[in-house]
Amino acid sequence: MLSVHTSPLDQPGAGDAGGMNVYIVELSRRLAARGIAVDVFTRATSSDLPPVAQLTAGVTVRHVNAGPFEGLGKDDLPAQLCAFTAAVLREEAQHEPGFYDAVHSHYWLSGQVGWLARDRWSVPLIHSAHTLAKVKNAALAEGDAPEPRARVIGEEQVVAEADRLIANTDEEARQLVRWYGADPRRVVVVPPGVDLDRFQPADRARAREQVDLAPDDVVLLFVGRIQPLKAPDVLLHAAARMLADDPSLRDRLRVLVVGAPSGSGLTEPQKLQELAARLGIADRVRFVAPQQPAQLAQYYRAADVAVVPSHNESFGLVALEAQACGTPVVAAAVGGLTTAVEDGVSGVLVAGHDPADYATAVRSVLAQRELLSAGARRHASRFSWDRTAESLVAAYTAAGAELAAAEVRGRRERLRPAVRAVPSALAPGTALPG
């Protein structure tokens, strides 16, 4: 696995760490359980990190020195790809040829590294984009900077080179084909999963007690990296509207925002706090630092509704995790969220980002919470990391077989260059040129 810009050891919910980190951890664990050893290469971001760390039996994290440990943002990393790739190739060169059977790259920066590794090792390159610049740029939030052209070009190159492109949803598969010119035969739809043991319904009263909420509070929950794209500001506006429409909620409505800043923009925590103050709901909003899964599950359980108003989301694991805990979701009808949430069954999908529509959707969920809670758990249980891993192993295997067949064909073709060089216009018996 290649994960250049963020480590599977990082705490998700802050900075560059989010769903992709969870994806790599969960997938690697499942692959290891199937007897497939995994090395994850990631950039070393601190001198304290050991060169090699064991995530779990069979999953090794290799910290690669590529540029200074600290002070580099994601946008600086294209300049470090050569250093990163060199380290990956050197590590492999210490082993017998054929040490790795496949390369799975995550995000376009890793795709660039995987492209060269694949060529050097003659193994298939499987690529997961996680997000696509063209899609992101088409749905920019106010205050969000567009993704640079260098990324778009880099993504196009990876799409052209990868043996398999893994899409989270049918929609992402279509985007890869239509917007990036991907060969449809190389695109495979593999939905991500959710850990149904870790995220499952449990005593709600206890969960509320544990996260310091009263039994009769009306709790709206936002979980994720705090950035304009995730639109936590829409939730605050919706909460303010609910209070204006129903003053009896004044002492009971609670908005919890779990996560930390990512990038810069209008919705950094401090600006969110200012917005809450302007809206007169500062006393109703609580900011909570990123949480480990066990405690995060308690927040999901304690909530009446999880709200995911993102401007774009290639999938939205948070929506799935909330539902797995039996908490219905109000989400924007964008990207992967239309797959992650079953409208009217596990929550409500909202077109656009008008806070009034979110307030209406939240009210409608509150009115039928029990029914939707059962639907949420049912919907979430259709997703599993085991199934994700199984589908990916099938993709690795098919891509490997295809590559092997192409190599055999290529060798045969290389054995016949003189025949192929004969210009068709030459009459039989004519001397070959040169």
Residues flagged as binding site? 5, 11-12, 16-21, 74, 107, 131, 151, 225, 230, 291, 300-301, 303, 313, 321, 327
Q: Does 263 bind ligand UDP (CB under 6 A)?
A: no
Residue 159 binding ligand UDP, by CB under 6 A: no
Residue 19 lies near ligand UDP (rule: CB under 6 A): yes
Long-range contacts of 99-102 (CB under 8 A, 24+ apart): 100/39, 101/396, 101/400, 102/126, 102/396, 102/399, 102/400
Residue number with CB closer to ligand UDP (113 or 231): 231
Rounded to 10 deg, the angle between the 107-121 and 149-161 helix axes is 40
- Is 18 or 263 the residue whose CB approaches ligand UDP more closely? 18
E-only strand ranges, 27-86: 38-43, 52-56, 59-64
Amino acid letter, residue 198: R
CB–CB of 8/33 below 8 Å? no
In the bound complex, what is the minimum distance in angstroms from residue 127's beta carbon to ligand UDP?
17
Residue 163 in contact with ligand UDP, rule: CB under 6 A = no
Helix 19-33 to helix 317-324 angle, to the nearest 10 degrees? 70
* CB distance 30 to 10 below 8 Å: no
Q: Does 141 bind ligand UDP (CB under 6 A)?
A: no
| Token pair listed for 123 | 């193994």
By CB under 6 A, residue 321 contacts ligand UDP? yes
Per CB under 6 A, which region of 15-23, 89-97, 200-208, 403-411 contacts ligand UDP?
A: 15-23
Contact flag: residue 259 with ligand UDP (CB under 6 A)? yes
400 binds ligand UDP (CB under 6 A): no
Number of residues that bind ligand UDP (CB under 6 A): 20
Residue 232 near ligand UDP by CB under 6 A: no
Examine residue 316 and tell whether it contacts ligand UDP (CB under 6 A): yes
Locate 162 and state its tokens.
Answer: 């990868």
| Residue ranges at the known binding site for 1D-myo-inositol 3-phosphate | 5, 16-21, 74, 107, 131, 151
Contacting residue, 1, 77, 190, 318, with ligand UDP by CB under 6 A? 318
Q: Is 18 in the site for ligand UDP (CB under 6 A)?
A: yes
Whole-number minimum distance, CB 62 to ligand UDP, in Å?
23
Q: Does 193 bind ligand UDP (CB under 6 A)?
A: no
Spatial distance between the Cα atoms of 25 and 11, rounded to a whole number of angstroms: 11
191 binds ligand UDP (CB under 6 A): no
Tell me: does residue 22 bind ligand UDP (CB under 6 A): yes
Residue 223 Cβ vs ligand UDP, minimum distance, rounded to whole Å: 5
Which range touches ligand UDP (CB under 6 A), out of 12-20, 138-146, 174-182, 389-397?
Answer: 12-20
d(CA 341, CA 156) in angstroms, rounded, equals 30
Residue 308: name the closest of 300, 318, 298, 299 by CA: 318
Alpha-carbon distance 260 to 288, whole Å?
8
The residue type of 17 is: A
Which one, of 357, 365, 247, lies nearest residue 306 by Cα?
365
Contact (Cβ atoms closer than 8 angstroms) between residue 117 and residue 88: yes
Question: Does 225 help bind ligand UDP (rule: CB under 6 A)?
Answer: yes
Of residues 316 and 400, the one with the C-beta less far from ligand UDP: 316
- Contact status: 15 vs ligand UDP (CB under 6 A): no
Ramachandran category for residue 224: left, alpha or beta (phi over 0 → left; psi -120 to 50 → alpha):
left
Query: Quick one: tokens of 327?
Result: 């908490």
**Region near ligand UDP per CB under 6 A, out of 67-75, 138-146, 218-226, 343-351:** 218-226
Spell out the alpha helix ranges (H) of 182-289.
Answer: 204-210, 232-245, 269-278
Residues that bind ligand UDP (CB under 6 A): 12-13, 18-20, 22, 223-225, 258-259, 290-291, 293, 296, 315-318, 321
